[in-house]
């Protein structure tokens, strides 16, 4: 699915693992849950001549806490670019860790190719994202195979309900840029 070539010799894991506070106290009642937004930050590519290229794209925040049943919005931070991104739930043990695994992200293909117009063909200009939400299991984000995508100004934002029960920890990845990874803690 990847668009910008993974030419990076050195990939900066820029995922600042900040945790978002999701409980907003309401006057005279128990704390009230609020929705959460995850943005894609894209600080572009930095080159060091004859040395390396670093592609700086990351989820912000990469680690979120959200009450079960609340909504999660995924959108561009800043101006939407033509660079597509996904938030794809995968099993923790399937997350790519090494450069080789990231270069050849089999789990990305397995869990996110359903976004494509033709899931059986490689992504490209004639086989772009056509399905913005993939659902496996129950409705909403509750386990591997659930995935949402954004691409350009026409699809700059998408919202999904996190339906997994409290106590669940979901791991997600951008299938286009597999070094982009994060965690959803359902409370």
Chain residues in the site for Cu ion (CB under 5 A): 85, 174, 176-177, 180
Distance CA 127, CA 115 (A): 10
Nearer to Cu ion, 3 or 185 (CB): 3
Nearer to Cu ion, 115 or 177 (CB): 177
Distance CA 182, CA 148 (A): 14
* Strand locations in 67-168 (E): 71-76, 85-90, 133-134, 147-150, 157-161
Phi and psi, residue 72, nearest 5°: -120, 125
Task: State in Å, rounded, how far the first CA of the chain is from the last one.
Answer: 32
Nearer to Cu ion, 22 or 174 (CB): 174
Nearest distance from C-beta of residue 173 to Cu ion, angstroms: 9
Distance CA 100, CA 88 (A): 20
Nearest distance from C-beta of residue 109 to Cu ion, angstroms: 15
Nearest distance from C-beta of residue 152 to Cu ion, angstroms: 13
Distance CA 57, CA 43 (A): 6
Neighbours of 1 (CB within 10 A): 25
Nearest distance from C-beta of residue 29 to Cu ion, angstroms: 39
Nearest distance from C-beta of residue 74 to Cu ion, angstroms: 10
Nearer to Cu ion, 70 or 131 (CB): 131
Residue corresponding to tokens 């195979």:
145
Nearer to Cu ion, 22 or 55 (CB): 55
Distance CA 148, CA 176 (A): 12
């Amino acid at each position: 699915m990847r668009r910008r070539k993974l030419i990076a010799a050195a990939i900066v894991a820029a995922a600042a693992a900040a945790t978002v506070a999701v409980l907003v106290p309401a006057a005279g009642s128990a704390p009230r849950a609020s929705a959460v937004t995850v943005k894609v930050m894209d600080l572009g590519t930095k080159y060091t001549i004859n040395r390396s290229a670093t592609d700086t794209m990351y989820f912000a925040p990469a680690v979120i806490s959200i009450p079960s049943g609340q909504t999660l919005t995924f959108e561009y931070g800043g101006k939407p670019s033509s660079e597509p991104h996904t938030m794809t739930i995968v099993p923790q043990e399937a997350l790519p860790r090494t450069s080789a695994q990231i270069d050849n992200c089999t789990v990305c293909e397995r869990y996110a190719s359903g976004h494509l117009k033709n899931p059986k063909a490689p992504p490209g200009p004639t086989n772009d994202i056509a399905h913005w939400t993939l659902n496996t299991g129950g409705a909403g984000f509750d386990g591997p195979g659930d995935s949402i995508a954004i691409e350009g100004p026409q699809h700059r934002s998408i919202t999904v309900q996190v339906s997994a029960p409290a106590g669940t920890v979901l791991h997600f990845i951008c299938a286009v840029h597999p070094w982009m990874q994060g965690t959803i803690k359902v409370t």
